Amino acid sequence: MTAMITITINGQKVSAPPGSTVLQAARLASIDIPTLCDHPALASIGACRMCLVEVKGQRTLQPACTFPVTEGMEVQTESPLVVEARRFILDLLFSERNHYCMYCEMSGDCELQKLGYRYGLDHWVYPTYTQRFPVDATRTHFLMDHNRCILCRRCARACSGLVANHTLGVRHRGARSMINADMDVPFGQSSCVSCGTCLQVCPTGALVDKRSAFMGRDVQTEHTKSTCSWCSLGCGMDIVTRGGYVLRVDGDWDAPVNAGLLCQAGRFDPLYDERERVTKPLVREGGKLTEVDWDKAVQAAVNGIKGVSVEGLGVLTSTNATNEALYLLDQVFHKGLGVTNTGLLNEVAARVPARAPGSLEDIAKADLIVVAGADPTEELPVASFLIKRAVDKGARLVVVGDKDNGLAPFAYLSLDAADVGRAVDLAERASHPVIVYGADVSSKTAKALKKLDEKATFVELQLGFNTRAAVAFGLNNGFDPSVAKTLYVLVGEQNWDGAAVMGKLNKEAFVVVQASYESPLTERADVVLPMAIWSERAGSLTNTEGRIQRVQKAAEPKGESKPDWEILSLLAGKMGQKPATSFDEISARAAQAIRPS
Ligand code: SF4
Ligand code: SF4
Ligand code: SF4
Ligand code: FES
């Protein structure tokens, strides 16, 4: 075990691992040192000087966020000299641009404003508002008000160091310095991928979320940790609500999959969904969909299911469903009724049976990454950030596949699928090759990659959402619409109109749809069971690595809609089946079936 280093902070003995900064050591001992440019997820740059401390024997004050600890060091964090220096820095920051807090959306939640209160700033010492800076509102989801910017560069460091997108930089010098995008183009025309990481790390009101602006201060909001349901990565997120209304979604810094990062699909898109919700159970009566109560709707669904032989039953499911719902689909239709005609709404990646199935963490350790049959920039964007980050740190990237790939511009080599052998040769010569593969891997490519079984780590990127769980329940065994006389579709929130499947379905077929939004599919249905959406349900999801993660309810289901698993419980009950007695039991059994211990 490495020996710890002991220092004294404000007379208190503190131990920290070698290589720690004074700030890290202070945090270990819960001693608060104010910061502005520092952020725990970012490399420190010592730019703002807010964390200045007095270190015995040093000629000048030192920034705690970059100053390393040494044995026996003595530090003062709030001495008169330190406080005077911090006040001076705050006076400069407040006079530099427009920090008229009462008109700022971040007022109450701003790190700069909090420090103003902490150090008793009650007037401007220096002239202010001497320069006017522009506001750039060209991005769809958030805007940049340069007047509130303190040039801490957290945004630029997040964009480069965490997202590896390198959109943001600083132009000019001194008082005219400004955060800019690419070669100084409007943000909306830049290479920004709208992941919102810069927005999440900004300490002031310079980067502002358009949708949740002025909707509530942090003390007025609730935070619910959950899991993103929009791709099979399953990023950890923090749903911010006020009075049951979802204001915004932040990345969860503690989540093992994404460590705070989200993509546009996870952070913004679900909040901008303008499709009409289905809020009441509906049954077709006299040719028209009519509102009924839950009991009547479930009975109508059961009549349709029981009215045909097992060979005439078909089940289709979105992989957006929770583990619990997929377990119940399996219990009700496979185990309970013996239905075999079941399918998924998305493709499934053919697995390369690997000796060492890896996880996303392995990407950071690779010296060579082969991405085959997958475009993470489109399908699982946070995975593409992790790959680009590894490339920034020196890993070589080889992209294999016949389609355009968003990672190709970052690749050392882009190969057609037929040339996969060259990627295999390179991987054989690498020290830590990682193969990242997806649903477009052909059996020929899979066979070629399999040669690397002894050498490489394999990371599977599944399409869809909870695909691993759906596959574990055997729900993807080749659905044939032409033989279905009654079709049960759990479409949930997925934007799937079903035209191709419905075109092959018998016109007389009875269709039951479990859905959150109106669509051509719900218009065709005989029974519509309204389903709660991502923020309104509890349960679990299995990500592409096989990690089972919790989904938490942050808002009440709209209208009479119910969570996916609860609807299937009602259906099971009406059919006289009893797969489990409680949510906890369903959840535990689902987990056991997905990942047998
Ligand atoms: S949203 Fe993401 S990609 Fe765009 S500038 Fe911010 S960190 Fe960079
Ligand atoms: S926009 Fe925000 S994060 Fe970026 S430099 Fe300005 S204050 Fe810092
Ligand atoms: S990468 Fe996938 S799981 Fe992560 S935020 Fe984006 S859509 Fe959600
Ligand atoms: S927080 Fe240390 S210099 Fe900014």
Inter-residue long-range contacts of 446-455, CB under 8 Å, 24+ positions, other chains counted: 446/350, 446/352, 448/420, 448/421, 448/424, 449/352, 449/370, 449/372, 449/420, 449/424, 450/352, 450/353, 450/354, 451/424, 452/424, 452/427, 452/428, 453/354, 453/355, 453/356, 454/355, 455/427, 455/428
- Domain limit, last residue, from 461, 481, 515: 461
Instruction: Please report, for residues 51, 186, 453, 557, the alpha-carbon distance to residue 549 in angstroms, rounded to integers and kept in the order given.
Output: 37, 38, 28, 21
State if residue 89 touches ligand 3 by the CB under 6 angstroms criterion.
no
The reply to whether 457 and 511 lie within a common domain is no
CB 298 within 8 A of CB 416: no
The reply to whether 147 and 223 lie within a common domain is yes
The reply to whether 476 and 334 lie within a common domain is yes
Q: Which residue has the higher pLDDT, 346 or 486?
A: 486
Q: Which of 147, 136, 577, 134 is nearest to 330 (CA)?
A: 577
- Domain limit, last residue, from 253, 272, 291: 272
Find the ligand nearest to 145 CA. Answer: 2
pLDDT of 1 over the 70 cut? no
Instruction: Please report, for residues 76, 255, 417, 435, 595, the alpha-carbon distance to residue 423 in angstroms, rounded to integers and kept in the order given.
Output: 56, 32, 10, 10, 32
DSSP state of 278: P
Which residue stretches of 241-373 are H helix? 264-267, 294-306, 323-329
For residue 311, the CA-to-ligand 2 centroid distance in Å is 61
For residue 262, the CA-to-ligand 3 centroid distance in Å is 6
Tell me the two tokens of residue 229. Answer: 């349901």
Q: Which of 586, 534, 349, 537 is nearest to 445 (CA)?
A: 349
Find the ligand nearest to 202 CA. Answer: 2
pLDDT of 349 over the 90 cut? no
Q: Which domain holds residue 15?
A: 5-78
Instruction: Give the gyration radius of the chain's Cα atoms.
Output: 28
Instruction: Please report, as a single letter, which amino acid is at residue 143.
Output: L
For residue 134, the CA-to-ligand 2 centroid distance in Å is 14
Instruction: Please report, as a single letter, which amino acid is at residue 148.
Output: R
The reply to whether 443 and 476 lie within a common domain is no
Instruction: Please report, as a single letter, which amino acid is at residue 322.
Output: T
DSSP state of 215: S
Distance CA 286, CA 203 (A): 59
Percent of the chain whose predicted confidence (pLDDT) is above 70: 99
- Tokens 């309104």 belong to 536
The reply to whether 506 and 452 lie within a common domain is no
- Domain limit, last residue, from 237, 272, 307: 272
pLDDT of 184 over the 90 cut? yes
The reply to whether 394 and 311 lie within a common domain is no
Distance CA 35, CA 24 (A): 12
How many domains is the chain built from?
4
Instruction: Please report, as a single letter, which amino acid is at residue 140.
Output: T
The predicted-structure confidence for 89-98, as pLDDT tens digits, reads as follows 999 999 999 9
State if residue 265 touches ligand 3 by the CB under 6 angstroms criterion.
yes
Q: What's the predicted TM-score (pTM) here?
A: 0.95
Mutate to test the pocket of ligand 4, among 49, 150, 151 (most ligand atoms within 8 A of CB): 49
Distance CA 258, CA 309 (A): 46
The reply to whether 579 and 473 lie within a common domain is yes
Q: Is 114 part of any domain?
A: no
Q: How much is the average pLDDT of 382-396? A: 98
Closest C-alpha to ligand 1, atom 5: 192
Mutate to test the pocket of ligand 3, among 197, 262, 465 (most ligand atoms within 8 A of CB): 262
The reply to whether 167 and 251 lie within a common domain is yes
The reply to whether 497 and 551 lie within a common domain is yes
Q: Is 109 part of any domain?
A: no
The predicted-structure confidence for 522-558, as pLDDT tens digits, reads as follows 999 999 999 999 999 999 999 999 999 999 999 999 9
Hey, which residues does 54 pair with through a beta bridge? 76
